[in-house]
Chain A
Amino acid sequence: MAEEYWRWTESRWTDLGLSWKGGEIITAGVDVGSVSSQAVIMVDSRLYAYANTRTGSDSPNSAINVMNWALEDTDGLTLDKIQYTVGTGYGRVNVPFAQRAVTEIACHARGANFMYGPTVRTILDMGGQDCKAIHCDDKGKVTNFLMNDKCAAGTGRGMEVFADLLKVSINDMGELSLQVEEEPPPVSSTCVVFAKSEASGLLRAGWPKEKVLAAYSSAMVHRVVSLLERIGLEEDFAITGGIAKNKGVVLRLEKELGVKALEPKYDTQIAGALGAALFAKALVEKEKGKKK
C-alpha cells in the first residue's frame, strides 16, 4: 500500500499536575474543522487536557471522537461532569453535546490571547482549508478580522497536495524546505492546482525536492502576507493552526514581514477549541451572575 505522506501527527495531552476534582467551573471547547478537530478541557482558568485529530471522512462523529480522546487519561473525568461545551469551526453544527456554537474568529482570538498572552495583537491562523488574519485587544476580543476560505493557497490542503507530489511526509516538509543553499524564486502560480503542475515541471527539470519545497513555501508566504497586509500587522504577532508547525513557512513569513512571531508553548492547532472553552467559562459565569 502506498505510504500516505499527508498524514500529520495527531496528539493528546493532560496536565498531570492538575486535578479536575477541585475545580469549580469545568468547560470544554470543540473545534471541528474540515481537516482537523480538537477538543480542549479547562478547569477554572487552567488548561487541563486536549486532543488533536484528523477529521477524516467521519466528520459527523469527529466531535465525539476527539472529545473521548481528550477525556482519556483524565483521572475519571466524564462528559457529564463538564458544565458547558462550546462548539466552533466549520463543523460546529455537528457537536451534538455542545450547548452553543460560536464562530471560529472569536474563538481563535480568545484562544491565542490565552496561548500567547495579553500582548498579542495580530494572529495569523493558517488552517486546513482557510487562512485568517485577526486583530485583537489585550483581552482577546476581536477588533478586526479577515478570513479567506475560498482559496486553498496558503492552507494545509495545499501542503497536503505537495506532500503527496513530492512524496515527503508532511511533518518533515518544513525542515526539508530549509535545506537549500540559496533561496529559489517562488513558484509563480498562486493557485495550488497550477502550482502543482509547475512543481512537476521543476522536478522534471532536475530540481531537488528541497528546492521545490522552498519555492512553494515562498509562494505560500507571499500569498498569506498579502492577506495580512489588508488589515495591517501590529505587534505582538502570533501564528496558529497546523502550518505554524512548518518551520520553513514560519521562518520565511517572519523574514517577509520583518517581525518575529511569538514562540508557541502549546500545540498551535488548539487555539480555536481553547477559545471555545474560554467562551464556555464566560457563559457559565454570566449565567451564574444572572441568578444572583
Chain B
Amino acid sequence: MIANYGYKDGSGDFFITIDTDKCDGCGACVEACPAQAFEVGEDPNDPLREDPAAFIVEAVRKKLKYACARCKPVTDRPPLPCVQACPAEAISHSW
C-alpha cells in the first residue's frame, strides 16, 4: 500500500510517501529522523496487517512542512536522512 501522509494547503503539497509493501518495520527511519516524525507499529491504515509498518506520527502530519524544514534548506540540499536510511527504499517526499 502506498501511504501518503501530509497535507495540501494554499502554500503547496507536503506529503511523505511510505510504500508499506516494501516496509518490513525495521525502524531505521525512526532513528534517522531528527524531528522524530516516524514511528513503527501497527499499520494505522491496514488493520488486518500482521507485521509492523512505519508511519508518520499523527501529531506531525499536519505540520510536515515545518517538521521537515531542517532537512530541506533552500540551497545545497543534502540527501534526506530518512530516505537514505531506509534499506527498502520505501520512503519518498513530494517536495
Contact = CB atoms under 8 A, between A and B. Distances in A.
Nearest to A194: B10
A125 B47 CA distance: 20
Contacts of B45: 103, 105-106, 142, 145
Given A102-B47, A150-B62, A279-B47, A145 B7 contact: no
Of the four ranges (under 10, 10 to 19, 20 to 34, 35 or more), the interface on chain A belongs to 20 to 34
Interface in B34-64: 44-48, 62
B13 interface: yes
Interface in A66-99: none
A148 B7 contact: yes
A231 B2 contact: yes
Nearest to A109: B45
B3 interface: yes
A229 B44 CA distance: 24
Interface in A130-176: 135, 141-151
A145 B1 CA distance: 8
Given A145-B4, A146-B15, A151 B10 contact: yes
A156 B47 CA distance: 27
A226 B48 contact: no
A148 B3 CA distance: 13
Interface of B: 1-4, 7-10, 13, 15, 44-48, 62, 94
23 contacts: A100-B47, A102-B47, A103-B44, A103-B47, A106-B46, A106-B47, A135-B2, A142-B1, A142-B46, A143-B2, A144-B1, A144-B4, A145-B2, A145-B4, A146-B15, A149-B62, A150-B9, A150-B62, A190-B10, A191-B10, A226-B8, A230-B4, A230-B13
Given A135-B2, A142-B1, A146-B4, 8 more contacts: A141-B46, A142-B46, A143-B2, A145-B2, A148-B7, A150-B9, A151-B10, A282-B48
Interface of A: 100, 102-103, 105-106, 135, 141-151, 190-191, 226-227, 230-231, 279, 282
